[in-house]
Structure 1
Amino acid sequence: MAKPVLSKENIKLNVAIPNKNEAIRYTGDILVQGGYVDAGYIEKMYEREQMATTYMGNYLAIPHGTEDAKQNVLETGISVVTVPNGVDFGDGNIAKILIGIAGKGDEHLGILSNIAIVCSEEENIDKILNATSEEEIMELFSEVQ
């Protein structure tokens, strides 16, 4: 049976993260610990960030691996981390919500589009940032599963 794309263990609320590299490592580590990716995936996340920022606007960054990182993906999964004090993703772009993504095949495309839909509404961004439990986040992203 496949793992759930998002489980409570993949959600970390109110974390303090000092910089973008740590933010990428943190979201990647959750995916490694959950058995979604192997440790090499995190390097691919750094490579992807060097090509173009994964900051999406609306306080959201979606760190993920490069195209060739697919070999490092064991299961499709996402991690969700809230950083109330924000992390600078460059050019004054402050991310307060980090969503790490690992997708098998092209599964990440559907996940990305669902996350974009959820996070395009400011009301949902507020709900994520103000969430006091993993369940609240799970509910918001129930469409992403």
Structure 2
Amino acid sequence: MISPRLQTTAYILSPDRRSVLLMRRDKYPQDIHFGKYMGLGGHVEAGEDPVTCIRREIAEESGLTAGDLTLRGTVMWTNFANTDALCFMFRVDTFTGTHHGGNEEGTLEWVPLAEVRDKPMWDSDHEWLPMIFDDDQRQFHGVMPYDGYDMLSWSYQRI
């Protein structure tokens, strides 16, 4: 039996829906995500539900206030760096405010959707990231076992 940590990740679309706000993890070389581009998000705290968590994380990490959220799916990572996590994946279609440029983890950058695949990120992100932005209304729910930092497989269902 696994007892995963609950996490959230959000991908914020620009008003013209051509770019996504990503964080380039560039502050601490010892960060396991150093040099990689990622969505905004973090761990669900005690007493929080995933929606409350992602709204808080977006505000903390960007200064933006999320408007319309869509839960696109979930990913269960098992044995990633000896940790199990269940991540709720959101797309943010509207927001208010202006992002502050970054935080202690990294720098924020608007990346054209057509260039996301060219950015350094975990190879495994390319398996599920297209489903964040596609037009399929069904959610995806997948599992991604790891051996340390190496993805072993990927399987998912859409409902």
TM interval, shorter chain, is 0.3 to 0.5
TM-score (norm 2): 0.33
Q: Identify the structure with the greater strand proportion.
A: 2
Greater Rg, structure 1 or structure 2?
2
Q: Identify the structure with the greater helix proportion.
A: 1
TM-score (norm 1): 0.35
